[in-house]
């Protein structure tokens, strides 16, 4: 069974995380598939919008801790670069990317959404970047893109405390854009179809300008986050923290 699925609803693409038995914890296979699907959609040119959703009750609890605990320098670099490919794929896509968040939307799962254009969340969503609790930093741009969404102070608070917040608080601070009134995927589809009904070139240019204005030259910060991730993911004390977490 594929851990990430891709389907089309007319001219709207839907990528779904498909590891619900593990609360869609991200491993390198999932991240690679996600990046490959983004590349395929961009090259085919049929998608007018993309929704990223998930099977099961939760969007994602973040990176698979078992996988993180087993990483050495090479595999940590490989994982991080797969994350980077996914993030760059979303930023460079000529179509808007909409995330449909629900249940636990944490860590790397939430971070991927921070590079998207629009975030829609279900009323039961719980959001946060809890990586600090096991001794690592963001693995998918969370320390780069989160401040642009919610400001330096709130980004520092979430990233340095690992605090989880309700969807209402996330809406208030700008971490999500819409709280779905019903099914979050259906609400995302309605938004995607509306955008897809407009001129493709117009939407593409709007997206490009908004990214340039809000994120700017993000690559240097992303490089630093990558170096920090590889260092921390292979640090002895951090490994001990992960081991303690896994024994809970």
Kindly state the average pLDDT of the residues 212-231. Answer: 78
Q: How far apart are CA 209 and CA 31, in angstroms?
A: 27
Strand partners, 12: 9, 49
Q: Where are the domains of the chain?
A: 4-196
For residues 91 and 94, what is the distance between their CA atoms, to the nearest angstrom?
A: 8
In this structure, are residues 173 and 147 in contact, taking their beta carbons and an 8 Å threshold? no
For 16-55, how does the pLDDT look when each residue is reduced to its tens digit (9 = 90+)?
999 999 999 999 999 999 999 999 999 898 999 999 999 9
Q: Kindly report the three-state secondary structure assignment for every residue of 44-89.
A: HCCCCEEEEEECCCCCECCECHHHHHCCCHHHHHHHHHHHHHHHHH
Q: Indicate the angle between helix axes 152-161 and 142-150, nearest 10 degrees.
A: 140
- The rounded radius of gyration (Å) of the Cα atoms in the chain is 17
What are 143-185's pLDDT values in tens digits?
889 999 999 999 999 999 999 999 999 999 999 999 999 999 9
Quote the mean pLDDT of the chain.
91
What is the reported pLDDT for 220? 76
With H, G, I as helix, E, B as strand and everything else as coil, classify residue 2.
Answer: coil
Ranking 96-100, 101-105, 209-213 by mean pLDDT, the lowest is 209-213
Task: State pTM to two decimals.
Answer: 0.92
**d(C-alpha 34, C-alpha 239), whole Å:** 27
Q: Is the pLDDT of residue 246 over 90?
A: no
Sign of the C-alpha dihedral, residues 165, 104, 236, 137?
negative
Reduce the DSSP state of residue 173 to 3 states and report it: helix
Q: What is the pLDDT of residue 32?
A: 95
pLDDT at 57 over 80: yes
Q: Please say whether the beta carbons of 115 and 145 come within 8 A.
A: yes
pLDDT mean over 127-144: 84
CA–CA gap between residue 168 and residue 197 (Å, rounded):
30
Q: How many CB atoms lie within 10 A of CB 91?
A: 18
What CATH code would you report for 4-196?
3.90.226.10
pLDDT-derived band at 240 (thresholds 50, 70, 90) equals: confident
């Amino acid at each position: 069974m594929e851990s990430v699925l891709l389907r089309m609803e007319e001219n709207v693409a839907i990528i779904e995380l498909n590891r619900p038995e593990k609360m869609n914890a991200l491993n390198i296979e999932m991240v690679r598939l996600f990046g490959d699907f983004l590349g395929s959609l961009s090259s085919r040119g049929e998608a007018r919008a993309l929704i990223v959703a998930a099977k099961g009750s939760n969007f994602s609890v973040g990176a698979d801790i078992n996988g993180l605990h087993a990483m050495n320098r090479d595999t940590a670099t490989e994982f991080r670069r797969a994350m980077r490919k996914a993030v760059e794929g979303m930023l460079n896509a000529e179509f808007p990317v909409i995330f449909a968040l629900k249940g636990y939307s944490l860590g790397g799962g939430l971070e991927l959404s921070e590079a998207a254009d629009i975030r829609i969340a279900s009323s039961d969503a719980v959001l946060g970047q809890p990586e600090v609790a096991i001794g690592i930093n963001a693995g998918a741009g969370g320390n780069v893109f989160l401040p642009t969404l919610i400001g330096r102070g709130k980004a520092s608070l979430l990233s340095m405390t690992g605090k989880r917040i309700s969807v209402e608080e996330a809406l208030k601070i700008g971490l999500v854009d819409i709280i779905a009134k019903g099914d979050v995927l259906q609400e995302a589809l309605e938004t995607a179809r509306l955008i897809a009904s407009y001129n493709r070139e117009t939407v593409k240019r709007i997206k490009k300008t908004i990214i340039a204005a809000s994120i700017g030259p993000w690559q240097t910060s992303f490089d630093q986050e990558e170096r920090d991730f590889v260092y921390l993911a292979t640090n002895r004390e951090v490994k001990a923290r992960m081991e303690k977490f896994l024994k809970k």
